[in-house]
Amino acid sequence: MGNARKDRVYSEATRLLEAGVAGRVFPGAAACLGWRDPSGRPVYVEAHAGKLNDGGTATDDRTPYDLASITKPFTAMAALRLVAQGLLRLDTKAEQLVSDARGGPGGAATLEQLLTHRAGLAPWGGLYLDVPHEPGTSAARRWIVGEASRRPDEGPTAAKGGALYSDLGYIIAGELVSRAAGQPLDRVIAAQITDPLGIADEVFFAGALSPDRKAALSKRAAPTERCDWRGRVIRGEVHDENCAALGGVSGHAGLFGTAHGVAVFGRAMLESRAGRGSYLSRELMTQALLPRVGTSLRLGWDGKSAEGSTAGKRLSPETFGHLGFTGTSIWCDPPRDLVVVLLTNRVHPSRANERIKGFRPAFHDSVAGAFDQ
């Protein structure tokens, strides 16, 4: 059964990715599905299709993609690791450690509120356009963090005290995690997640690389969009402009990764939820995944919506995951003990291409069907 399942999943994933390329959903894509065999060992099936761009080099299993908002669960799980180590508390207010955040709702928010999108902050803001300092400098970083903390949600969600998905909250959360650990955020993510899981060469902040590694990445990474602000097609540097102005390292965006590297992270989350291993306690993982009233958003994660989920219809109601604007996603299905990672550069050459909205649920339904046979 083991090899037959692997063959089915590989064939179906490859067929779907090739269909996505042919249908111009994206120039290229990679997928990785991970589960445990009967002996408990992890099994990973990888597939890829397409080219880095319309006339470029073919993709492969090692192609790094801009993970975009999949950075958020990495940030949140690093925060929980610090909580477990006694370096941080979920009720720590941002302004206790991040002086730049004082004077706004972001500074008054707790770590838990920031990580569950309940800090009362606006979803997004073009901070990169207004920063009065050279992008990437420490002065620019301080200004952006301070400004993010003072951009309240002024819509109906704020009046009801509910959750509102916010990049700005995760900008502040990333800074809070960094201050608590006494290290830049990229080093915290490495120390708490990618090094322990053995994926440091597969998941990383491009903005923290040496000049030589940045140059190499610009030739290997899947390109994203033509950025008017930077005046060029973005490749090997973060697509998100606010993150770029922060120097390429932030709690809300900035990570690049392979499908396999992200799947290893997802497997660790499933193991923690099941109480297997010592990476993260079952209690903390359960707390992270608790449903919050009035929203599908969890701590660091999103739950599967009852209707219209990008995870499709087959994956279980207990499924949790996250999307990335560039065309990336991770979904973890506890009853199946299955993680499904889909990485694409659907924003190349333009974010106007939204065919991914129909592709994602169809992809997840079909690969889950192949897994279940």
Each residue of 295-349: pLDDT tens digit? 999 999 999 998 999 999 999 999 999 999 999 999 999 999 999 999 999 999 9
Crossing angle between the packed helical segments 71-84 and 167-181, to the nearest 10 degrees: 40
Query: By the 8 A CB rule, do 33 and 9 touch?
Result: yes
More confident residue, 161 or 21: 21
pTM for the whole structure: 0.97
Query: Phi and psi dihedrals of 152, rounded to 5?
Result: -75, 155
What is the percent of the chain where pLDDT is above 90?
A: 93
Instruction: State whether the Cα torsion 97-101-106-108 is positive or negative.
Output: positive
Q: Give pLDDT, residue 158.
A: 57
What is the percent of the chain where pLDDT is above 70?
A: 98
Q: How far is CA 42 from CA 36, 38, 164, 368, in A?
A: 4, 10, 35, 17
More confident residue, 159 or 33: 33
Q: What are 188-197's pLDDT values in tens digits?
A: 999 999 999 9
Q: What are 39-78's pLDDT values in tens digits?
A: 999 999 999 999 997 678 899 999 999 999 999 999 999 9
Average pLDDT over residues 255-261: 98
Q: What is the DSSP letter of 87?
A: S
Is pLDDT at 204 greater than 80 in this prediction? yes
3-state secondary structure of 273: helix
Taking residue 165's Cβ as centre, other Cβ atoms within 10 Å add up to 17
Query: By the 8 A CB rule, do 256 and 221 touch?
Result: yes
Query: What confidence category does residue 127 fall into, taking pLDDT thresholds of 50, 70 and 90?
Result: very high
Q: What are 157-185's pLDDT values in tens digits?
A: 655 668 999 999 999 999 999 999 999 99
Query: By the 8 A CB rule, do 192 and 78 touch?
Result: yes
Query: By the 8 A CB rule, do 13 and 367 touch?
Result: yes
Q: Give pLDDT, residue 149.
A: 97
Query: By the 8 A CB rule, do 28 and 63 touch?
Result: yes
Domain boundaries, the chain: 2-68+199-372, 72-187
Q: Matching CATH topology for 2-68+199-372 and 72-187?
A: yes
Average pLDDT over residues 2-13: 95
Nearest-5° angle of CA 186, CA 230, CA 54? Answer: 90
User: What percent helix, strand, coil does the chain show, rounded to 5?
Assistant: 45, 15, 40
CA dist 188 and 80 (Å) reads 12
Query: By the 8 A CB rule, do 303 and 315 touch?
Result: no
Is pLDDT at 239 greater than 60 in this prediction? yes
Fold of 2-68+199-372: Beta-lactamase (3.40.710)
For 72-187, CATH number?
A: 3.40.710.10
Average pLDDT taken over every residue of the chain: 96
Is pLDDT at 5 greater than 70 in this prediction? yes
Pairing of strands 255-257, 232-233: unpaired
Is pLDDT at 1 greater than 70 in this prediction? no
CA dist 17 and 59 (Å) reads 12
Is pLDDT at 154 greater than 70 in this prediction? yes
Query: By the 8 A CB rule, do 281 and 272 touch?
Result: yes
Nearest of 68, 31, 71, 51 to residue 363 by alpha carbon: 31
Nearest of 251, 221, 198 to residue 326 by alpha carbon: 221
Q: Which residues pair with 66 in a beta bridge?
A: 256
